Amino acid sequence: MKSASAAMADYDRGVVDSTYDWLPERHLGVAATLAHADELIEQISDLLFEYHTQSDGVFGLREVPAGPVSRTVVVRVAPIPRKVPLLVADALVALRAALEHALFAEVEFADGAPLDEKAAQLVEMPASHTYEKFEKWRKNRARHGPLSLRAGSELLRRVAGLQPFQRPAEPQMHPLARLVLHTNHAKHRTPAVTTVRLAAMYRDDQVPRSIEDLPKQPEKPLCVGDVIAETPIGTKVPVTLFPTIGINRPRTDRWPVLMQELDEISQWVRCQALPRLITGSEPPQPPLPARYEISVGHQDERRAVAAGSSTSAASRYTRRLSAASARINLVEHLGQIYDFPNGQQVSAWLAHLTDEEVLGKIAALKKNHNYDPRVMRHNIEVLARLRDEILNSPHENKPAEE
């Protein structure tokens, strides 16, 4: 029998040797619900990618003199497509449904018979910030609720292990707490509220060594009239800005990055909550796939699930954005060397590279914070090889495929 790590390695390589024997037949449908949620997140990512890469940019800036300084003022913010918050609400509701459906199926299995209507109405996944609130939830089901959710039951132990009070320092930050907060608001108040905000910014003459070193920006919407920088009159200080889309956590002034919020919640539901709820133990390997093909019927659903992808829509979106930035950076870097190919040649070459290939080529360049001559020489050699690759590319004079 393969170890968990070996099985996971095979899974990531696309080797299907598992039929998810830890996943009972009664829970096969939950994999489809997860796939549906991931498809919704994929639609969100497509809209956000188009939004981030629009020709006029996400926002516009203007320098406004104010005495001895010049203020960089926001004069325009592109409107976010209305469909984005609607899809966000749908995705979060689907993720919550995956939990609720799994709990209901497990209750009926444990009780050994279909529930009567009164007991069925009392089956729900709580999100208790304190143990006392969880006990109150349990006692409210003591008389008419299903036997499997009574005190001392195995299923109640599993549900308790997923509760926000298990993180006493910040129960409100628990993924289940956030999921319930978002879905309750979307169902009863308004769809998810999204906005443009600055995730980070830095001066080009003070490039940080890593993402962790980026100066933190306030979690707040970016509005017309906001001043994002001040410099002495006559001084030019180029800066790099990282706009993003934030989502409001209802009843708070927090605006976390939308795709990060979706990814953290969906990963927890898929890789932690559902496996623990279903098995009552540490999550088995391989984890449920982020997605498998649900637009066609399958004679062998279990095998179709096993052939699914472990790469989430949020991960694909991050790679896609990184590749778009890398394409721009490659053009800039290649412009620094002798015999730089013309723009048409570079465009044709880039158009025939996958995102993974582009990221691989940009990764060959080393960061040079200390202007190390050895690093400079290495990067010049890499760029020279790329130049030769472009000049010898069979696509250099051919238009990109539609």
Q: Per residue in 157-203, pLDDT tens? A: 999 999 999 999 999 999 999 999 999 998 878 888 999 998 887 76
Cβ contacts of 368 within 8 Å, gap of 6 or more: 375, 376, 379
Rounded to whole angstroms, the Cα distance separating 14 from 274 reads 22
Q: Two tokens at 399?
A: 């238009």
pTM score: 0.85
b/e per residue 102-136 (b: at least 16 CB within 10 A): bbbbbbbeeeeeebeeebeebbebbbbbeeebbee
Q: How many CA atoms lie within 13 A of 41 on its CB side?
A: 31
Rounded to whole angstroms, the Cα distance separating 266 from 250 reads 18
Q: Which of 129, 139, 126 is nearest to 166 (CA)?
A: 129
SS3 216: strand
Cβ contacts of 400 within 8 Å, gap of 6 or more: 347, 348, 351, 352
pLDDT value at residue 207: 66
Cβ contacts of 267 within 8 Å, gap of 6 or more: 312
pLDDT value at residue 396: 52
pLDDT value at residue 22: 92
45, 124, 292 from 296: Cα distances, Å: 23, 30, 10
pLDDT value at residue 366: 84
Give the sheet arrangement for strand 69-77, strand by strand. Answer: 59-66, 69-77, 227-232
Rounded to whole angstroms, the Cα distance separating 29 from 181 reads 25
Rounded to whole angstroms, the Cα distance separating 336 from 112 reads 72
SS3 72: strand
pLDDT one-digit tens code per residue, 294-353? 999 999 999 999 999 999 999 999 999 889 888 888 887 777 776 777 777 787 888 889
Q: Which residues of the chain have pLDDT under 50?
A: 1-17, 399-402
pLDDT value at residue 316: 94
Residue 350: in which H helix or E strand, if any? Answer: helix 343-351
